[in-house]
């Protein structure tokens, strides 16, 4: 695993910011880290990038222990970080800003120039390469910040809200770039509040509220929270249909909603034909059959809300 943590935690005085975080992220994976403000996302990233030390637990990045001082320098060479509020030298051009940061990582000048050209083209900023950064919009700065953290060709990227505040076109450029980087085998740790973005980009998501509430694929996350449900729309939900279906062994729960019955079924793909046949035998006239879909927002709100009620 490229990123692996075990019971990672951080306290500030008597307050626990992060507790017992255990996650694994493989090579070429986009890992979504979701949670409300103050949930511990930034603190976790700061520990994983060796900016602060953990109070408990362990973690490795590219096989190096974050708690080992000698390993910390090796980890920093292998990671790129996009912070929430990136800063630049306002009076320098795009190219001079990027060369400066490449120099900090001791990147060969020829390789740095090649990287600058490549990434400016990828993010649609190549024609701005000789412009002073001070006049850039927020969207242009955000794309430039992404390029900056790629100057040393890191294996792992930690991105904190990479599309926050961007217009739809700029956000799409950034998302497409993230997918391109994934295809190159980069591992991407994505902190985001954009749940639709997480669902589209991430192989795995973890929802944190100081502790990990759930981790898994977006699809399995939805199924674990809500289960899988069939929605059968009928001309009319007659009593014989409701009774017949409710007694089927594979139906775990049933509810009526106007001209629809909603069935919780462990394996809809397998049992849907049997359910349809039973409805027809009971005299039901079917208009449509589909699966009830929940958004990542539904799942997120339920998990966070349930934890807040505890």
CATH of residue 112's domain is 3.40.50.300
Last residue of a domain, one of 190, 216, 242: 216
Mean pLDDT of 266-283: 91
Q: Is 167 helix (H, G, I), strand (E, B) or coil?
A: coil
Q: How many domains does the chain have?
A: 2
Mean pLDDT of 55-69: 96
Q: In CATH, what number is assigned to the domain containing residue 252?
A: 3.30.70.100
Co-location of 187 and 275 in the same domain: no
Co-location of 202 and 74 in the same domain: yes
pTM above 0.95, yes or no: no
DSSP result, 220-232: HHHHHHH--EEEE
Co-location of 87 and 67 in the same domain: yes
Last residue of a domain, one of 216, 238, 257: 216
Co-location of 157 and 236 in the same domain: no
Co-location of 167 and 69 in the same domain: yes
**pLDDT the model gives residue 40:** 94
Last residue of a domain, one of 216, 243, 272: 216
In this prediction, residue 57 has a pLDDT band, given cuts at 50, 70 and 90, of very high
pLDDT in tens, 131-182: 999 989 888 898 899 999 999 999 999 999 898 878 888 888 889 989 999 9
Co-location of 211 and 230 in the same domain: no
Q: Is 153 helix (H, G, I), strand (E, B) or coil?
A: coil
Co-location of 111 and 10 in the same domain: yes
Average pLDDT value for the chain:
91
Co-location of 162 and 251 in the same domain: no
State the Cα–Cα distance between residues 193 and 33, nearest whole angstrom: 9
State the Cα–Cα distance between residues 218 and 186, nearest whole angstrom: 20
- Please state the length of the chain: 310
Co-location of 235 and 194 in the same domain: no
In this prediction, residue 309 has a pLDDT band, given cuts at 50, 70 and 90, of very low
Q: Would 265 be classed as within a structural domain? A: yes
Co-location of 119 and 137 in the same domain: yes
Nearest partner of 152 among 86, 104, 188, 107, judged by Cα: 107
Domain that includes residue 233, residue range: 226-296
Q: Would 306 be classed as within a structural domain? A: no
Cα pseudo-dihedral 234, 239, 244, 247, rounded to 10: 120
Co-location of 169 and 245 in the same domain: no
**pLDDT the model gives residue 5:** 97
**pLDDT the model gives residue 63:** 96
Q: Would 155 be classed as within a structural domain? A: yes
pLDDT in tens, 6-56: 999 999 999 999 999 999 999 999 999 998 888 999 999 999 999 999 999
pLDDT in tens, 213-229: 989 888 787 777 777 78
Residue scoring higher pLDDT (140 or 86): 140
Q: Would 310 be classed as within a structural domain? A: no
Contact 27, 203 (CB under 8 A): no
Q: Would 301 be classed as within a structural domain? A: no
Co-location of 53 and 187 in the same domain: yes
């Amino acid at each position: 695993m490229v990123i692996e943590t075990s019971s990672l935690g951080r306290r500030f005085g008597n307050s626990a910011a992060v507790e017992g975080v255990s996650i694994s992220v493989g090579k070429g994976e986009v890992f979504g880290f979701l949670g409300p403000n103050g949930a511990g996302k930034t603190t976790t990233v700061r520990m994983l990038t060796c900016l602060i030390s953990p109070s408990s637990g362990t973690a490795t990045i590219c096989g190096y222990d974050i708690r080992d001082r000698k390993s910390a320098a090796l980890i920093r060479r292998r990671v790129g970080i996009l912070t929430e509020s990136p800063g630049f030298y306002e009076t320098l051009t795009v190219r001079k800003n990027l060369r400066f940061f490449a120099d900090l990582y001791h990147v060969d000048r020829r390789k740095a120039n090649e990287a600058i050209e490549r990434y400016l083209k990828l993010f649609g900023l190549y024609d701005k390469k000789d412009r002073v950064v001070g006049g850039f919009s927020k969207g242009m700065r955000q794309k430039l910040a992404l390029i900056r953290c790629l100057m040393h060709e890191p294996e792992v990227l930690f991105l904190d809200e990479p599309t926050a505040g961007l217009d739809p076109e700029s956000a799409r450029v950034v998302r497409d770039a993230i997918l391109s980087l994934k295809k190159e085998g980069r591992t991407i740790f994505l902190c985001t509040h954009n749940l639709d973005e997480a669902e589209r980009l991430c192989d795995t998501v973890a929802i944190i509220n100081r502790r990990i509430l759930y981790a898994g694929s977006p699809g399995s996350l939805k199924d674990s929270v809500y289960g899988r449900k069939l929605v059968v729309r009928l001309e009319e939900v007659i009593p014989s249909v409701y009774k017949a279906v409710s007694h089927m062994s594979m139906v775990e729960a049933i509810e009526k909603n106007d001209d629809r019955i909603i069935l919780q079924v462990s394996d809809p793909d397998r049992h849907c034909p049997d359910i349809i046949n039973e409805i027809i035998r009971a005299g039901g006239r079917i208009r449509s059959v589909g699966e009830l879909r929940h958004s990542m927002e539904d799942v997120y709100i339920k998990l966070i809300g349930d934890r807040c009620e505890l």
